[in-house]
């Protein structure tokens, strides 16, 4: 496996993969930080495309990532992560709405757990899932990072598409 730390406005993001696909990404802070294994090699080469797309995302120029991904997870987690990719840039959905999207309307807690286990945040946009009341609930990168990402996306939408909603923290 290969890895790199890439500097972004929210800190150094960890990216890891096998040279062909991205397997992991993590925030510099929060409960879901990932670290390289001792036998992994630090190199930028396999991640040039991911770095370019992340830079464009943080500049507000990229709304949808186009990267080869291969996150490890259960069949249910994979189903949730696939549904996350369908949440449009600058929009949010709730855990319950996401559960309905995958035809598991009573599985909102399981959807929340799968969302929290997402090994490739930002690219697989788990930050776009909020509580049914509009509260910003648990996030592996920390709630301030989630708030920053949502505000960043809102700020790069045309004014007519910006949400009037102010997010609430659920600490």
Active site residues: 126
Residue owning tokens 């890891």: 16
Residue 26, classed as helix, strand or coil, is strand
Tokens of 153: 């996306």
Distances (CA, A) of 36 to 54, 122, 142: 20, 19, 20
How far is it, in rounded angstroms, from Cα 25 to Cα 15? Answer: 4
How far is it, in rounded angstroms, from Cα 171 to Cα 165? Answer: 18
How far is it, in rounded angstroms, from Cα 122 to Cα 22? Answer: 13
Beta bridge partners of 12: 7
């Amino acid at each position: 496996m290969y890895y790199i730390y890439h500097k972004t406005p929210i800190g150094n993001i960890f990216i890891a993969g096998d040279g062909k696909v991205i397997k992991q990404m993590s925030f510099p802070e929060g409960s879901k930080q990932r670290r390289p294994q001792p036998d992994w090699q630090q190199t930028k080469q396999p991640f040039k495309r991911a770095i370019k797309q992340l830079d464009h995302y943080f500049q507000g120029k990229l709304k949808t990532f186009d990267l080869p991904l291969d996150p490890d997870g259960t069949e249910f987690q994979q189903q949730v992560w696939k549904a996350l990719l369908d949440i449009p840039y600058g929009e949010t959905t709730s855990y319950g709405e996401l559960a309905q999207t995958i035809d598991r309307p009573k599985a909102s807690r399981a959807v929340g757990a799968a969302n929290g286990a997402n090994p490739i945040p930002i690219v697989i946009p788990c930050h776009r899932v909020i509580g049914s009341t509009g509260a910003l609930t648990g996030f592996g990168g920390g709630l301030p990072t989630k708030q920053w990402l949502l505000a960043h996306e809102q700020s790069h939408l045309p004014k007519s598409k910006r949400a009037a909603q102010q997010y609430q923290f659920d600490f």
